[in-house]
């Protein structure tokens, strides 16, 4: 990129907030797993929506590709330069736009800038006795703008929905530099198209989210967490349905974990202890919340587990006795992805199938993967309550990462074929990014793909905003 153009971009944010050297840029162009990495000309760190608007207006004038980036915690390369792509791209990092603008207790909303860390929103809600239920492993570093752009899921989806369900209004800068002001707190508004939903889950390809109005909820008065051992996914499904019938909306989490995932977590998480002794094939973490009291939540959970024992659905179970033990149970689940890393290379899938098909998917996928790599170690865990599994595979003991990754395309093809057969999704909560663009073409019908391309062309006719992500 010409120096004169670079200087114009730098002038907008100031020299202090423009990164040019390879050393300064390094952390912005690589992901945590080391699967994606590229180069860019510049990293810009604007402080306000007006600066973002000016950046995009200049980008349109100079036809400069812009990559919006939040906390850079994504797993599909959505906020990074393309592998082997042009270095003319500019990363627009929103981390400095981190103000919590307003907390409105009357409307149960919180208005924030896109760069606010998710955990800070949770804590602010907690300070006023409210709950912001979006919760995921990266919540200490991920930013709400990225969560919105990927329609992040997490452990609270069963009771509260995906990020899309938590967004009431958005402020968005379009590729042209125009600002779409949709910061609404209205629960009902039928005045035409709901434009915010174009940008939730669009992975920064249609506009840059700069502010959001988010829903808050009453804070539960009681929460109980149980850890359950089971013999099969089929029995886990029966337990899930029984818990739904018994607790209704009080069932706020139902996480399924395979034994291999548990073994890795206990091995590689400092201070981790098994909640249940003995060898078991599957585990479930069951959380019950109550708007009444801890006693009410405990009574409901105990009733669910007692009936499950009588029906021979579970092999063993324990209920956390303290808040510290509850957090320890949850930490086992939340650390499963990170605990896989010390075991070597991994091939990951973020899939969803109808909840009733989860056992069927597991049986079919295990068979298909082990046929390709007989000694593969399947590390399966996820949000069974909403049908989303993180179906991961670790390299066999004694294999090199290179040999294992040589099987990646074949494994993806086999797993996604089963997902498609079961009317599922190849991306439940992590997005498409640059990782799954090819696969997207195989699971979306031509009419859907053409509509997506038409929307992209209408809003970003020059193709300068997060180019070659989601759509080729």
CA dihedral 72, 265, 256, 309 (to 10 degrees): -160
pLDDT tens per residue across span 405-463? 999 999 999 999 999 999 999 999 999 999 899 999 988 999 999 999 999 999 999 99
Regarding beta strands 90-93 and 42-44, do their DSSP bridges make them parallel or antiparallel, or are they unpaired? parallel
The angle at the Cα of 289, spanning 288 to 291, to the nearest 5 degrees, equals 150
d(CA 14, CA 16): 5
What's the confidence (pLDDT) of residue 149? 97
What's the confidence (pLDDT) of residue 87? 77
What's the confidence (pLDDT) of residue 278? 92
Contact call for residues 82 and 67 (beta carbons, < 8 A): no
Please count the CA atoms within 13 angstroms of the CA of 378 that sit on its side-chain side: 24
What's the confidence (pLDDT) of residue 33? 73
Contact call for residues 81 and 89 (beta carbons, < 8 A): yes
Residues of the chain short of pLDDT 70, as ranges, are 83-86
pLDDT tens per residue across span 327-342? 999 999 999 999 999 9
d(CA 346, CA 367): 18
Beta bridge partners of 226: 286, 319
What's the confidence (pLDDT) of residue 472? 82
d(CA 350, CA 218): 30
What's the confidence (pLDDT) of residue 34? 73
End-to-end Cα, the chain, rounded Å: 23
Tell whether the torsion through CA atoms of 271, 277, 279 and 281 is positive or negative.
negative
pLDDT tens per residue across span 8-61? 999 999 999 999 998 999 999 988 777 787 889 899 999 999 999 999 999 999
Tokens of 14: 């100031």
């Amino acid at each position: 990129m010409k120096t004169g153009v670079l200087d114009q971009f730098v002038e907008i944010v100031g020299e202090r907030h423009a990164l040019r050297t390879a050393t300064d840029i390094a952390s912005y162009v690589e992901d945590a797993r080391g699967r994606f990495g590229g180069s860019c000309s510049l990293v810009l760190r604007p402080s306000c929506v007006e600066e973002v608007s000016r950046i995009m207006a200049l980008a349109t004038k100079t036809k400069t590709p812009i990559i919006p980036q939040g906390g850079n915690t994504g797993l599909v390369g959505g906020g990074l330069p393309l592998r082997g792509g042009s270095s003319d791209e500019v990363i627009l990092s929103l981390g400095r736009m981190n103000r919590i603008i307003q907390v409105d207790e009357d409307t149960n909303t919180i208005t924030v800038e896109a760069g606010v860390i998710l955990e800070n929103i949770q804590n602010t809600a907690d300070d006023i006795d409210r709950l912001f239920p979006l919760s995921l492993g990266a919540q200490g570093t991920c930013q709400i703008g990225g969560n919105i752009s990927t329609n992040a899921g997490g452990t609270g989806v069963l009771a509260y929905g995906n990020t899309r369900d938590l967004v009431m209004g958005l402020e968005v800068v379009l590729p042209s530099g125009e600002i779409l002001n949709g910061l609404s707190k209205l629960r009902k508004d039928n005045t035409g198209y709901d434009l915010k939903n174009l940008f939730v889950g669009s992975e920064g390809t249609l506009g840059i989210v700069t502010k959001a109005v988010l829903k808050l909820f009453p804070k539960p008065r009681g929460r109980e967490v149980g850890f359950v051992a089971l013999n099969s996914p089929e029995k886990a499904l029966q337990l899930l349905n029984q818990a739904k019938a018994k607790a209704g909306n009080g069932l706020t989490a139902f996480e399924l974990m395979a034994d291999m995932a548990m073994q890795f977590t206990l091995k590689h998480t400092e201070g981790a202890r098994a909640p249940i002794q003995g060898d078991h094939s599957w585990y479930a973490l069951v959380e019950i919340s109550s708007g009444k009291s801890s006693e009410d939540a405990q009574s409901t959970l105990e009733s669910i587990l007692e009936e499950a024992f009588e029906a021979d659905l579970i092999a063993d179970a324990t209920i956390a006795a303290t808040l510290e033990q509850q957090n320890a149970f949850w930490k086992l689940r939340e650390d499963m992805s990170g605990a896989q890393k010390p075991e070597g290379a991994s091939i990951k899938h973020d899939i969803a199938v109808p909840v009733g098909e989860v056992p069927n998917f597991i049986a079919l996928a295990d068979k298909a993967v082990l046929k390709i790599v007989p000694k593969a170690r399947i590390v399966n865990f996820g949000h069974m309550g909403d049908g989303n599994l993180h179906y991961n595979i670790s390299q066999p003991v004694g294999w090199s990462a290179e040999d294992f990754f040589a099987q990646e395309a074949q494994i993806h093809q086999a797993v996604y074929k089963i997902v498609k057969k079961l009317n599922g999704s190849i991306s439940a909560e992590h997005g498409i990014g640059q990782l799954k663009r090819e696969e997207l073409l195989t699971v979306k019908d031509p009419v859907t793909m053409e509509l997506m391309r038409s929307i992209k062309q209408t809003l970003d006719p020059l193709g300068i905003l997060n180019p070659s992500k989601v759509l080729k």
